Structure 1
Amino acid sequence: MQASSDRKPRTAAMPFIMITVLIDMISIGLIIPVLPPLVGSFTGSQADHAFWYGVVSFAFGFANFFGSPVLGALSDHYGRRPVLLIGFTGLALSFFATALSSALWMLVVIRFIGGAMQANAAVAQAYVADISEPHERAKRFGMLGAMFGMGFVLGPVMGGLLGGIDLHLPFFVAGTLAVLNGLYGFFILPESLPAERRVAVNWRKANPIASLKQLTELQGVGLLVAVMGLSSLAQFTMHATWVLYTHFKFGWGPTENGWSLFAVGAMAVIVQGGLIRVALKRTTPQKLAVVGLISSSLCYFFWGAVPEGWMMYVVIVLNVFGFMANTSIQTLVSNAADVQSQGRTMGAVASLNSLMAVIAPVFGAALLGMVSHLPPGDWRLGAPLFLCSALQAVATVLALRHLKRHSQGGLV
């Protein structure tokens, strides 16, 4: 009887966290089309533009690499809700301060502080793991992924349109949304982690190196850490270079990039909000992960190779299985962790992602800077995306090796 009464509020908490993630991702999506042009307003050449945008992206990822495992461990001790509130506060401060920045060094410092305070995605994933049985997690991570996608449907388009009026306006709007999300979290969002599941913070393990080591030691994870790392590196390299790449190659501005990111978000909503459930009825997360990695590798290559801007949309639509890969891998990792360590595990995954977010701008911006002198339409401008394709291909090989060793998971 007790289990049944506990189950109802825990199930009811799912809509609350979905709304929280949606608002969070809209606020983040708002700034994507306008942060690169804002950085460019302080530079004098395309090469400098690529370099300094890489520095700004590096600052956020570097701070987030160290902050995520700490915040994840804190959420295992104090609960998910207070750590989410810290993240909303960090986002709001970061957005407002960015809008008021008058120099490049200010952007770098602000993004660094914002990265240290923000682990919303990892804590939201731990929240979903708290309220879900292992067999439900793939579906619910898909629902959460749909909210991420919907945020990228609404956010970048709004950011592109608002950025067309004033480059600073989307940051003020994003900051306001972060404040509203904080108020929503404070007054409405229920806590997902019961007191009996909370554990003391082990500060020796709440650092990125220890958390990543612990992640590799989880039964059934192993090489999946390398798969996640390479896949994240590819994804963040694309994120770090997409807006500048399309600007250099096709002459796109904030509005065009806003619509392209709208298309990415729309596909994520369609796939993770519905198609992935259909796929999971017919196959396993293991098989979906492999097929998704192969699809992504091919699509990265074609994004870099296409000669016309409209073709980018065709590739986005064709990458159906690519949108299923991360959710499938995430499900395997979450199911490998026990109920007391979901926050620390998701924090470790977020830390791994942050490490890749640190490295990605270095490679991406360097490659883009090397080809930035080429004329619009030159296929070599796609160099960063060709790198993404190669990284995803290696991740696919490693995933196949891992799943072959764990054939009881359903691959073979």
Structure 2
Amino acid sequence: MKLSRGLPAVPFVLFNIFLDILGIGLIIPVLPKLVGTLVENAQAQAWWLGAMLIAYGFMQFALAPTLGSLSDKWGRRPILLLGVLGLGVMFFVPAFSDSLTVILLSRVLGGMFSANIAVAQAYIADVTPKEQRAAAFGKIGACFGVGFILGPAAGGLIGEYSIRLPFILAGTLAILNFFYGLFILPESLRIKNPNAVTFARCNPISSLLELGKFKQIGALLVVIALSSFVQSLLHSTWSLFTTFRFHWSPMDIGLSLVAIGTVTGIIQGKFIKSLLAFFGPKRLILFGLLSGAAAYLGFGLITVGALAYLIIVLNFLSMAVTPTLNGIVSEEVPSADQGRALGAVSALGSLMGVLAPLLGTPLLVHTSHMAPGSVLGGLPYIICSGLLLLAALIASLHFRSHPRA
């Protein structure tokens, strides 16, 4: 089925992803402050906020393959709509509750419902020819980029007037999106998976092990894990790092994140198809990983903040790695297992999102007492550079062993 024949379904799914990310972005600037108003000291604030972030990421990891498997059996439409509705309801909870326990529970359930990103990816795969899926997944990445540009910016501005209003806005957007989809979104899955949805099929570990058995995927799961870990470490340490290294203000940090999101959105939304045609999937992945390795090494060594913007722009090839890897996974997996497979990949990314801050933040704090020009001050990103070089080596060996990948 051609991508164009999925209209208006494809725009809805992309808009659904955008609103999910926008809603998440809206609350990023205000959640720490809201938690701070409900505790007695900064230490308690840090513990509660950490618990909420870890719980959200862990539930995405644990439930993404489950929602994907359910969508393989029952169809994409009901699971997508359930996720949008559930996430919308969970956004409203912190707006009206003064109980940290209730807010934490809402983050647990919100993480579960937000795991339907994998179902949205499976929907796109259903209505897109195999050879066009990497480009289609690039549009998903563009939605992430734009959502993370607009969400935190809007949340920060609105939060100046009320720290609870961004939660209300995020919930309202999700509910409106649910009703729009209820009347507009058709089912994309033509042949449903007859297999029972069991724990063995749904748990993320077994899903990843099954996915790794595909010869053309195999070691690429390690590449996906390393790449996701590096991205998550950047997201979790960038604010502290740039404050320490460049003495940036919150506005400076926000502008740099806008730059990252803009480059990501442009490459994944507009140019990935041309890059795939020019390089081919294998070379695009390898050059993208090498570009990322050079960029992170640069982040770790520079002492002038303006150079970070130059690195962000020159690192455009790395923005194409994730959708290209997802495209390879989707091409190799049967249509009846798209939800489970993409759920497993999503779960892997969520797990890296939980693990990366556990390493990156303490490492950055440990080196923060060093002089701004010290090489060790940029150690987290120098390590990231090494991890991406390792990912490039693994990908190169895999492609040589499986030339059709």
TM-score, normalising length: structure 1: 0.87
Q: Give the whole-Å Cα distance in 2 for the aligned partners of 1:160 and 1:68.
A: 29
1:178, CA displacement in angstroms?
Answer: 1.8
Alpha-carbon spacing, 1:66–1:357, altered in 2? closer, same or farther (3 Å): same
Contact preservation (8 Å) 2:3, 2:128: no
Match of residue 329 from structure 2: 333
1:382, CA displacement in angstroms?
Answer: 3.7
The alignment status of 1:396 with 2:395, answered yes or no, reads: no
The alignment status of 1:71 with 2:64, answered yes or no, reads: no
Match of residue 171 from structure 1: 167
Q: Give the whole-Å Cα distance in 1 for the aligned partners of 2:96 and 2:257.
A: 25
Q: Give the whole-Å Cα distance in 2 for the aligned partners of 1:248 and 1:105.
A: 33
Match of residue 61 from structure 1: 57
1:75, CA displacement in angstroms?
Answer: 0.7
Q: Of 18, 26, 46, which aligns to 2:14?
A: 18
Contact preservation (8 Å) 1:13, 1:131: no
Match of residue 347 from structure 1: 343
The alignment status of 1:31 with 2:31, answered yes or no, reads: no
Alpha-carbon spacing, 1:103–1:13, altered in 2? closer, same or farther (3 Å): closer
Alpha-carbon spacing, 1:54–1:91, altered in 2? closer, same or farther (3 Å): same
Greater alpha carbon shift after TM alignment, 245-254 vs 328-337:
245-254
Q: Which amino acid aligns with 2:167?
A: F
Match of residue 277 from structure 1: 273
Match of residue 202 from structure 1: 197
Q: Give the whole-Å Cα distance in 1 for the aligned partners of 2:33 and 2:296.
A: 23
Match of residue 291 from structure 1: 287
1:168, CA displacement in angstroms?
Answer: 3.6
Structure 1 residues without counterparts, runs of 5 or longer: none
RMSD after superposition: 2.8
1:35, CA displacement in angstroms?
Answer: 4.0
Q: Which amino acid aligns with 2:196?
A: V
1:262, CA displacement in angstroms?
Answer: 1.9
The alignment status of 1:98 with 2:94, answered yes or no, reads: yes
Alpha-carbon spacing, 1:307–1:100, altered in 2? closer, same or farther (3 Å): farther
Alpha-carbon spacing, 1:111–1:77, altered in 2? closer, same or farther (3 Å): same
**In structure 2, the residue corresponding to 1:321 is in which secondary structure?**
helix
Contact preservation (8 Å) 1:66, 1:207: yes
Contact preservation (8 Å) 1:50, 1:365: no
**In structure 2, the residue corresponding to 1:197 is in which secondary structure?**
coil
1:124, CA displacement in angstroms?
Answer: 1.2
Structure 2 residues without counterparts, runs of 5 or longer: none
Q: Which amino acid aligns with 1:236?
A: S
Query: CA offsets, 1:91-148, max 9 Å, x none?
Result: 2233333345657655544322221222232111101110011112122122222222
1:395, CA displacement in angstroms?
Answer: 1.3
Q: Which amino acid aligns with 2:154?
A: M
Q: Which amino acid aligns with 1:328?
A: T
Greater alpha carbon shift after TM alignment, 245-254 vs 273-282:
245-254
Query: CA offsets, 1:268-317, max 9 Å, x none?
Result: 12111222121122121111111111111222232343324433322221
Q: Give the whole-Å Cα distance in 1 for the aligned partners of 2:339 and 2:313.
A: 33
**In structure 2, the residue corresponding to 1:117 is in which secondary structure?**
helix
Q: Give the whole-Å Cα distance in 2 for the aligned partners of 1:53 and 1:303.
A: 27
How many aligned residue pairs are there? 403
TM-score, normalising length: structure 2: 0.89
Match of residue 404 from structure 2: 408
Greater alpha carbon shift after TM alignment, 32-41 vs 354-363:
32-41
Contact preservation (8 Å) 2:243, 2:249: yes
Alpha-carbon spacing, 1:183–1:301, altered in 2? closer, same or farther (3 Å): farther
Contact preservation (8 Å) 1:98, 1:107: yes
Match of residue 364 from structure 1: 360
1:253, CA displacement in angstroms?
Answer: 5.5
Contact preservation (8 Å) 2:74, 2:192: no
Alpha-carbon spacing, 1:88–1:368, altered in 2? closer, same or farther (3 Å): farther
Contact preservation (8 Å) 1:11, 1:131: no
Q: Of 207, 211, 215, which aligns to 1:211?
A: 207
**In structure 1, the residue corresponding to 2:188 is in which secondary structure?**
coil
**In structure 1, the residue corresponding to 2:316 is in which secondary structure?**
coil
Contact preservation (8 Å) 2:134, 2:325: no
1:371, CA displacement in angstroms?
Answer: 3.8
Contact preservation (8 Å) 1:72, 1:344: yes
Q: Of 67, 81, 84, which aligns to 1:85?
A: 81
Match of residue 254 from structure 2: 258
Q: Give the whole-Å Cα distance in 1 for the aligned partners of 2:40 and 2:302.
A: 28
Superposition pairs of residues 140-159 of structure 1, within 5 angstroms: 140-159=136-155
1:12, CA displacement in angstroms?
Answer: 4.7
Alpha-carbon spacing, 1:98–1:255, altered in 2? closer, same or farther (3 Å): farther
Match of residue 311 from structure 2: 315
Greater alpha carbon shift after TM alignment, 52-61 vs 372-381:
372-381
Greater alpha carbon shift after TM alignment, 348-357 vs 253-262:
253-262
Q: Give the whole-Å Cα distance in 2 for the aligned partners of 1:210 and 1:89.
A: 28
